[in-house]
Amino acid sequence: MNQLTVRRPTARDASRKRLGALVAVLLAACSAEPTHSSTVDGPPYPPASPQVVNTAAGNPSSAATPNGTGPGGTVTGPGTAGSDSNIRPGTEGGNDAPTGDGSPATTKAFAPPPGSLRRLTATQFRNTVSDIFGVTVDTTELDSDNWNADFAVIGAATVVTSERGVEQYHSAIEAAANAVFDDVDRQRQFTGCDADLPIEDPCVGNFIERMGRRAWRRPLDASELERLWNIARAVADDFDAPQEGLRWTTVALFTSPHFLYRTELGTPKPAGGMALTGYEMASRLAFLIGNSAPDDVLLDDAAKGALDTADGVRVAAERLLSSSRGRAAVGAFAEEYLQLHRVGTQAKDAALFPEYGAALQGAMARDMRETWEQVVFDDAASALDLFTTRRAVVNADLAALYGLDVADLDSDTFETVTLPEDSPRVGILGKAAFLSQFANQKEGSPTLRGKFIRQTLMCTPIPPPPGDVDVVLDEPPADMPMTKRERLELHRSSDTCAGCHALMDPLGLPFETFDAIGRHRTTERGLTIDPSGEVEGQAVADSRQFGAALASSDAVAKCLVRKYYSYATGHAVRGVDLGVLDSLSAAFAASGYDMRDLILNVVSHEAFSSVAPQPDLETTP
């Protein structure tokens, strides 16, 4: 087999030709009107375009479509992430919960949210590129994820991609393509074609069709395939190298918004209403249970109609859950649910905590993420056991913080350990990833820790403090040391502060025996710490008893259902979702709080596959 040596013109000619190829790719990838159909040969239905906001004028523009930004433009997908004002505050879906006037609440009939376009999160983008190209891309330079209703996957429906962001996505894809096409063996494996094949060879068309389905997560129609083949022809002719045609066609596929945005717009059902198409369902399943694009097996399921029924979806989901990516997807949910992205952003006083750096921060997040995976998959335990587990995943840095033996460990070596039975550190709330997040630079914060528990783990909203209230605790006089508990008691003596602090502080005070980075302690300013608190009217002596109380809490179990449902469906809970949550919560309890069972019940529920027509977007010329 002859290896093709690609002719590389020098200096000005090389720059001109490469720039010309790049412009051709971008124009071709960004000019096509999108068409999606529920079957390969069926009639297309027009998806609503993401609204394009002109950053210079500040007005919506009708000149661009989801397939391009245009000069000075930014792309945003229409979202459904906002919450419904009729949600019962502080409740998790029970039909007897009172409304604001004390009367019983009524559960509204379920109605699906409008369909939407969702930009891939940074993790989804990285995983997809890794799965398809076999290349790990650096996503730190990409546009940041947008967080809405506590989740990046919800914010993905309203995120704005800047003009600079488009360039960054293109650079990442070009780097991945170069890693493949600059190696003749990798190029042959990736495309299935020899580098010196004529551009009109059927192998080229097969590659475009096959890779197009992987990239856009659906079959490409004839006009799309022809447009991409024209790119391959033009670039191959320009460079006198068929391999370059395939390279830039690949770049075109993966820089198109058809790749960057997930389409979840639905199609009419024979019995009325709308549901995701088979290919849209394949994408929704894959990105939920895998955090990556659907594989060929799942796309084949979509083509055969296997994803058109709840049973078919459940079978596909079971396969995905049994894979390594399915396991990691539970950790990914924990990462967003517990806001682990914040761990690396929390500054600490370097004089007090010299060990607090990137290695320790990364270990904290990994410990939390992998503990979730192990409890759910290895222990096959109740999800509520997360609050009492003694599992920890540590490297040398984290083991030292936890007071464990660091022999045979370094910053890059991790092992799973079981904490001693009498360890003060139990459950996910005893982990440094939680404790260091909700603290300030010098000390822990019972208020921040309690607020997170109340709002995120118990789903009870807490109103913000009045604007004229000083939220900073006064430092005690030097000759009169006080614990944080004592300082908070003084703060709560104000009627303005007492109400909200009563909702937060009793939940956070049991963790006062852990400092600003999660290291255990028993004294503060030379005074013995009192770690007692209260949860749901039950007095607890310390964080161990607190974890046991949460592990038996019906409210916490229902809140977990609520949060996972939002995460899976991509929108905040609305009043019309409460009946669905009641049903899912009852099934979750009946399963012994099996997280895997919850996932399967969510994805096979009608609410996961149903969408409503998208409202027309008004644009200003």
Check residues 7 and 166 and name the one with the higher pLDDT.
166
Helix ranges (H only) for 256-305 are 257-260, 278-288, 296-304
Give the pLDDT score at 272: 85
Residue 507 has pLDDT above 70, yes or no: yes
Question: What's CA 253's distance to the chain center, in Å?
Answer: 23
All residues at 6 or more sequence positions from 605 whose CB lies less than 8 Å from its CB, including other chains:
310, 580, 583, 584
Residue 39 has pLDDT above 90, yes or no: no
CB 121 within 8 A of CB 146: no
Check residues 270 and 26 and name the one with the higher pLDDT.
270
Q: How far apart are CA 121 and CA 137, in angstroms?
A: 13
DSSP state of 96: T
Residue 32 has pLDDT above 60, yes or no: no
CB 396 within 8 A of CB 359: no
Check residues 191 and 26 and name the one with the higher pLDDT.
191
In sequence order, what E strands does 52-135 have?
52-54, 60-61, 73-76, 116-119
Helix then strand then coil, % of the chain, to nearest 5: 50, 10, 45
Q: How far apart are CA 364 and CA 434, in angstroms?
A: 9
Q: How far apart are CA 223 and CA 211, in angstroms?
A: 16
Residue 585 has pLDDT above 70, yes or no: yes
* Burial classification of residue 439, based on how many CB atoms lie within 10 Å of its CB (0-12 exposed, 13-18 middle, 19 or more buried): buried
Sign of CA dihedral 127, 132, 137, 139: negative
Residue 37 has pLDDT above 70, yes or no: no
Helix ranges (H only) for 509-577 are 543-551, 554-569
All residues at 6 or more sequence positions from 235 whose CB lies less than 8 Å from its CB, including other chains:
21, 24, 25, 244, 245, 247, 248, 249
pTM: 0.84
Q: What is the pLDDT of residues 450-463, one digit of tens each?
A: 999 999 999 999 88
The CA-based angle 565-506-548, given to 5 degrees, is 60
Longest dimension (CA), the chain: 86
Residue 416 has pLDDT above 70, yes or no: yes
Query: Tokens standing for 443?
Result: 């000390």
Q: What count of residues does the chain have? A: 621
**Main-chain dihedrals φ then ψ at residue 234, nearest 5 degrees:** -65, -45
Mean pLDDT of 14-19: 46
Q: What is the pLDDT of residues 320-368, one digit of tens each?
A: 999 988 999 999 999 999 999 999 999 999 999 999 999 999 999 999 9
Helix ranges (H only) for 82-138 are 122-133
| Axis-axis angle for helices 278-288, 296-304 (nearest 10) | 150
By three-state DSSP, how is residue 63 classified?
Answer: coil
CB 400 within 8 A of CB 384: no
DSSP state of 514: B
Number of helices and strands in the chain (H, E): 24, 15
Please tell me the least confidently modeled range out of 64-73, 177-186, 474-483, 578-587: 64-73
Identify the CA nearest to 127 among candidates 117, 139, 116, 118.
139
Identify the CA nearest to 449 among candidates 514, 399, 524, 380.
514
Measured CA distances, 145 to 120, 160, 602 (Å): 9, 9, 24
Long-range contacts of range 2-7, CB-CB < 8 Å, 24 or more positions apart?
2/196, 3/184, 3/195, 3/196, 4/184, 4/195, 4/196, 4/241, 4/242, 4/243, 6/239, 6/241, 6/243, 6/244, 7/239, 7/240, 7/241
Q: β-strands 73-76, 160-161: how paired? A: antiparallel
Give the pLDDT score at 271: 84
